[in-house]
């Protein structure tokens, strides 16, 4: 019998029986509603829309967290995703710490809002509407303004925690609370629609006697209680970070366009990037509230800069919780989960926050991770053993999507017309002259 190849007889079965023969190999998919992301490696195209999935009951919130090592294609995915969502009339607001969303903005026909210390544009993070949106765990009456006050206090406290690098003492928290009320009264007296950070700093340095009496203390003591907070917040008002978040929002900023990009690249290397991103995100989110627009996608790229800061992470989580009430799908881009985990010990608030943020982001897109990272955080991300091994081997553009309880291995595909808006490799290319294709006047693809 030497030389003869043994033949295995073919097996014929119906597709119904085949899925029993090869269990768990293929997935039914997420349906056809949404934008095309790319190829499901196990077969077919992969389409995604958080609002459609929410309606279908596949997810209980529309938020997404994206993890991945440097240069794996996280931001490219976000840019092409936003561009494709434009077909469905979705608007997008982006906090852009590296200043890389300019081409996307240009494609959309808008200019990024470039913030730089001492620059021409100011955003007031305390701009917020009494909009009647119920806060989690707090019934806010329509138009009462309590919700707005509460948000301002939470934001100011978070900024103070972030600037001080520690939790606030009870007396500091009370001083912030009173200062926000004092600043609001001062704003009303000068016909400003909202308090500003300089007014909060003034109110901390010069608390009024009524506030002191409410706290059964003296104005001098209340000033002492809030002094450290005032000195730190002052940095945003008079120090090296002044001129961006220290006054009323510059009039005439176009917020009703399909895309708003806040370019923070001028402060990317500042140690206070997290604080500045928090201010920018606060402003974005209050503007979303003010306009009562539904179906907005809010992106915080390089979100590790925010999350590694306890105070700001706490505040961000409270914003995440509001996504359903506002019709907003939040997206945060991180390198790795341990960016956050490493700042806290097991069982600490940081880790609880990480888990909370993940719980409030039912879509987790995981690009390549190092084996050590997967060992540390695989369980938190809900990765199975096979998935954990897989994510260490993913090539650029490939990601494991965990949506609710389901998993998909997806290759993100870029269209040729999208290349110029996603390229972040210019600095790595020999002789490359950065440019936008001449004469290209892009407009969002029509449905």
Ligand X SMILES: Nc1ncnc2c1ncn2[C@@H]1O[C@H](COP(=O)(O)OP(=O)(O)OP(=O)(O)O)[C@@H](O)[C@H]1O
Q: Which residues bind Mg ion (CB under 5 A)?
A: 74-75
User: Which residues touch 250 (CB under 8 Å, ≥6 apart)?
Assistant: 120, 121, 122, 123
Q: Is residue 36 a contact residue for ligand X (CB under 6 A)?
A: no
The 3-state DSSP class for residue 38 equals strand
Residues 61 and 173: their CA atoms lie apart, in Å, by 31
Identify which of residues 385 and 425 has a Cβ nearer to Mg ion in the complex: 425
Q: Which of 388, 383, 386 is nearest to 364 (CA)?
A: 383
- In 100-221 the beta strands, taken as DSSP E runs, fall at 113-114
Half-sphere exposure of 82 (CA within 13 A, CB side): 30
Whether residue 262 contacts residue 96, with contact meaning beta carbons closer than 8 Å, is answered with: yes
Q: Which stretch binds ligand X (CB under 6 A): 70-78, 203-211, 217-225, 274-282?
A: 70-78
> Which one, 327 or 397, has the nearer CB to ligand X?
397
Mark 352-391 with x for binding to ligand X (rule: CB under 6 A) and - for no binding. ----------------------------------------
Instruction: DSSP letter for 291, please.
Output: H
Kindly tell me which of 248 and 397 has the beta carbon lying closer to ligand X. 397
Binding region for ligand X (CB under 6 A) out of 66-74, 125-133, 191-199, 252-260 = 66-74
Task: Examine residue 429 and tell whether it contacts ligand X (CB under 6 A).
Answer: no
For position 39 contacting ligand X by CB under 6 A, the verdict is no
CB of 355 to ligand X, least distance (A): 23
Residue 346 binds to ligand X (criterion: CB under 6 A): no
Query: For residue 247, how many other CB atoms are within 10 A of its CB?
Result: 17
- Taking the complex as a whole, the smallest distance from the CB of residue 107 to ligand X amounts, in Å, to 16
Site string for ligand X, 286-325 (x = CB under 6 A): ----------------------------------------
Residue 73 interacting with ligand X (CB under 6 A): yes
Site for ligand X, residues 125 to 164, rule: CB under 6 A? none
The tokens for 424 are 């972040």
Phi, psi torsion values for 79, nearest 5 degrees: -65, -45
Nearest-approach distance from CB 367 to ligand X, in angstroms: 6
Q: Tell which one of 287, 412, 418, 442 touches ligand X (CB under 6 A).
A: 412
CA distance 309 to 276: 12
- Size of interface with ligand X, in residues (CB under 6 A): 16
Residue with tokens 């097991």: 346
CB nearer to Mg ion: give 179 or 261: 261
> Contact, 369 vs 336, CB < 8 A?
yes
Contacted by 414, from ligand X, Mg ion, none: CB < 5 to 8 Å by type: ligand X
**Nearest C-alpha neighbor of 64 from the set 55, 31, 54:** 54
Q: Which residue number, 172 or 418, has a Cβ lying nearer to ligand X?
A: 418
Reduce the DSSP state of residue 64 to 3 states and report it.
strand
* Dihedral (CA of 362, 367, 373, 374) sign: positive
Could you tell me which stretch among 11-19, 65-73, 290-298, 430-438 binds ligand X (CB under 6 A)? 65-73
Contact footprint for ligand X (CB under 6 A): 68, 70-76, 396-397, 412, 414, 422-425
């Amino acid at each position: 019998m030497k030389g003869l190849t043994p033949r295995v007889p073919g097996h014929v079965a119906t597709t119904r029986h085949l899925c029993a023969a090869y269990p768990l190999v293929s997935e039914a998919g997420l349906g056809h509603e949404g934008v095309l992301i790319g190829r499901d490696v196990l077969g077919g195209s992969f389409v995604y829309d958080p609002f459609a999935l929410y309606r279908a009951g596949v997810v209980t919130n529309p938020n997404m967290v994206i993890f991945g090592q440097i240069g794996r294609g996280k931001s490219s995915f976000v840019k092409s995703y936003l561009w494709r969502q434009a077909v469905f009339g979705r608007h997008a607001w982006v906090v852009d710490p590296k200043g890389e969303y300019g081409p996307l903005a240009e494609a959309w026909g808008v200019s990024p809002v470039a913030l730089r210390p001492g620059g021409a544009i100011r955003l007031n993070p305390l701009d917020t509407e009494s909009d009647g949106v119920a806060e989690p765990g707090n019934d806010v009456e329509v138009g009462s303004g309590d919700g707005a006050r509460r948000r301002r206090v939470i934001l100011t406290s978070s900024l103070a925690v972030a600037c001080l690098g520690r939790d606030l003492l009870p007396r500091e928290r009370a001083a912030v609370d009173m200062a926000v009320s004092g600043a609001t009264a001062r704003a009303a007296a000068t016909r400003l629609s909202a308090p500003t950070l300089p007014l909060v700093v003034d109110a901390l340095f010069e608390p009024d006697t009524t506030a002191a009496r409410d706290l059964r203390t003296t104005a001098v003591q209340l000033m002492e209680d809030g002094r450290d907070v005032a000195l730190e917040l002052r940095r945003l008002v008079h120090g090296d970070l002044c001129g961006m978040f220290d006054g009323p929002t510059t009039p005439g900023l176009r917020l009703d366009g399909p895309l708003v990009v806040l370019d923070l690249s001028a402060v990317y290397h500042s140690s206070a990037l997290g604080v500045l991103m928090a201010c920018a995100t606060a402003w974005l989110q209050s503007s979303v509230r003010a306009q009562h627009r539904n179906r907005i996608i809010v992106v915080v790229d390089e979100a590790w800069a925010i999350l590694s800061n306890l105070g700001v992470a706490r505040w961000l989580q409270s914003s995440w919780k509001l996504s359903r009430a506002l019709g907003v799908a939040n997206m945060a881009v991180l390198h790795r989960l341990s960016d956050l985990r490493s700042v806290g010990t097991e069982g600490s608030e940081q880790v609880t926050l990480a888990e909370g943020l993940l719980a409030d982001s039912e879509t987790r897109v995981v690009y390549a991770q190092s084996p050590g990272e997967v060992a540390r955080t695989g369980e938190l991300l809900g990765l199975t053993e096979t998935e954990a091994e897989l994510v260490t081997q993913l090539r650029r553009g490939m990601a494991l999507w965990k949506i609710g309880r389901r998993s998909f291995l997806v290759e993100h595909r870029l269209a040729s017309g999208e290349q110029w808006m996603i390229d972040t490799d210019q600095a790595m290319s020999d002789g490359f002259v950065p440019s936008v294709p001449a004469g290209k006047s892009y407009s969002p693809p029509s449905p």
